[in-house]
Each structure stands twice: as structure tokens, then as C-alpha cells.
Amino acid sequence: MKSKTAKETSTITTEIVLPNDTNTLGNLMGGRLLHWMDVCAAISAHRHCKRVVVTASVNNVAFTQPIRLASIITIEAKVSRAFTSSMEVFIDVWVEDPVTSERTKCNEAIYTFVAVDQNGSPLPVPEMVPETDEEIKRYEGALRRKQLSLILAGKMKPEDASELKALFLKNS
Ligand SMILES: CC(C)(COP(=O)(O)OP(=O)(O)OC[C@H]1O[C@@H](n2cnc3c(N)ncnc32)[C@H](O)[C@@H]1OP(=O)(O)O)[C@@H](O)C(=O)NCCC(=O)NCCS
């Protein structure tokens, strides 16, 4: 399988926050943003492997500031690393002021997708080759994040997470 670059998986979505997307304070509902991020990230993972992909986990999501009605949201998703059948996808979200057009980064999230066949069984995916400094940094941290996600899901024993453990030993 031919390896891919993060750039080849880059997916950008633009949305406007409409009344039906908001809570009673007139701010974007978190669940709506999660849905937009999920769709954008799934397209990015699909561009990497050209297979049907399913969401395996959602991590590192923080809603740090309210996003007002009528704001314009730009979501960018890129595969940060591919493993055997799973792909980590980084999502960056910016909000654009509808009057001044000023863009501010407002969210980040990390999703994991798995390529599957028609029966839902995992399939192998191509390697991802990072190029820029930011892509290399995200690529290098991906194995630790995968191990943490698997521990939290009860699919890995903490003692088997050697890369994650090494981080704590290095900093202690
Ligand atoms: C995701 C899914 C295909 C994994 O199937 P599985 O039987 O656990 O298969 P495996 O144990 O072989 O795992 C497959 C890959 O997923 C990864 N994975 C599974 N759960 C994970 C988690 N919580 N976090 C990160 N990676 C995970 C595994 O590490 C493995 O990666 P690798 O092949 O790159 O090493 C299966 O759990 C599934 O279909 N889940 C439902 C998906 C879905 O419907 N999503 C929408 C939710 S509404």
C-alpha cells in the first residue's frame, strides 16, 4: 500500500451557527460541534485509506469559549498517524467573527477511526508520513495517545503501555 502525507488527507469544512444549532443562551451546542468534527475527520480518514471508516474513540475535546449564533466555523481535519487498521485524526477549529472576519482558534480534538470491511471487521491502512514540524510532533505523540485511549477503554493493561510509561519515567 502506498504511503500518504497528512496534506493529502486535509479536509476543511465551513459551517454557520444557525438558531437550531444553539442552546437557550444562544451559543453553539457542544454536541453539534462534535458531529461536524466527526464528519470532517471521517472524510479525512477516508481520504487516507479509501475505505469505509468508523469512529473508534474521541479524545482531547475541550470547549474553552462559547461560540455565538451566526459565527462562521472552520474545521480542519488531518490524519496525524496511521497504525495497522486505525488512524488518529487531529481536528482544529476556528471561529470567524461575522462582522470583523477575525479568525480565532477555539477548539482542538483528536478522533480515532478504524477502516472496516462490509462486515465491520478491521482492514489494514497505508502508512502516514509526516512532513512539517507540527505533523512530526503530532505523529510522535500518537502512539502514547493510542495507548492511553486503549487503557481508558479497558482494552489495554497500563503495564503494557511502554511508550506512555516512558513519558512519566523521563519526566520524574
Ligand atoms: C472500532 C472497532 C471496529 C474496533 O474493533 P475491534 O474488534 O475492537 O478490533 P481490534 O481490537 O482489532 O481494534 C482495531 C483497531 O482499533 C483500535 N481501537 C479500538 N478501540 C480503540 C480505542 N478506544 N481507542 C483507540 N484505538 C482503538 C485498536 O487499537 C486497533 O488499532 P490497530 O489495528 O491500528 O492497532 C469496533 O469496536 C467497532 O465497530 N466499534 C463501533 C464503531 C462505531 O459504530 N462508531 C460509531 C459510534 S456511534
Question: Residue 172: pLDDT above 90?
Answer: no
**Residue bearing the CA closest to ligand 1, atom 13:** 122
**146 C-beta closer than 6 A to ligand 1:** yes
Round the average pLDDT of the chain to a whole number and report it: 95
Q: Ligand 1 centroid to 14 CA: how many Å?
A: 28
Q: Nearest C-alpha to atom 47 of ligand 1 is from which residue?
A: 55
All 3 cell numbers of residue 132?
Answer: 512539517
Q: Which tens digits make up the pLDDT trace of 1-34? A: 899 999 999 999 999 999 999 999 999 999 999 9
User: Which element (helix H / strand E) includes 108?
Assistant: strand 103-116
More confident residue, 102 or 110: 110
Pocket-testing residue among 34, 38, 86, ligand 1, by greatest number of atoms within 8 A of Cβ: 86
Residues 30-51: tens digit of each pLDDT = 999 999 999 999 999 999 999 9
Q: What is the dotted CATH code of the domain comprising 4-129?
A: 3.10.129.10
Kindly report the CA angle at 45 between 6 and 117, in degrees rounded to 5?
140
Which of 85, 112, 114, 119 has most ligand 1 atoms within 8 Å of its beta carbon, as the pocket-test mutant?
A: 114
Q: What is the 3-state secondary structure (H, E, C) of 23-92?
A: CCCCEECHHHHHHHHHHHHHHHHHHHHCCEEEEEEEECCCCCCCCECCCEEEEEEEEEEECCCEEEEEEE
Residue 116 beta carbon below 6 angstroms from any ligand 1 atom:
yes
The finding on whether 152 has its CB within 6 A of some atom of ligand 1 is no
How far is 48 from 169, CA to CA, in rounded Å? Answer: 34
Residue 115 and residue 93: Cα distance in Å, rounded? 24
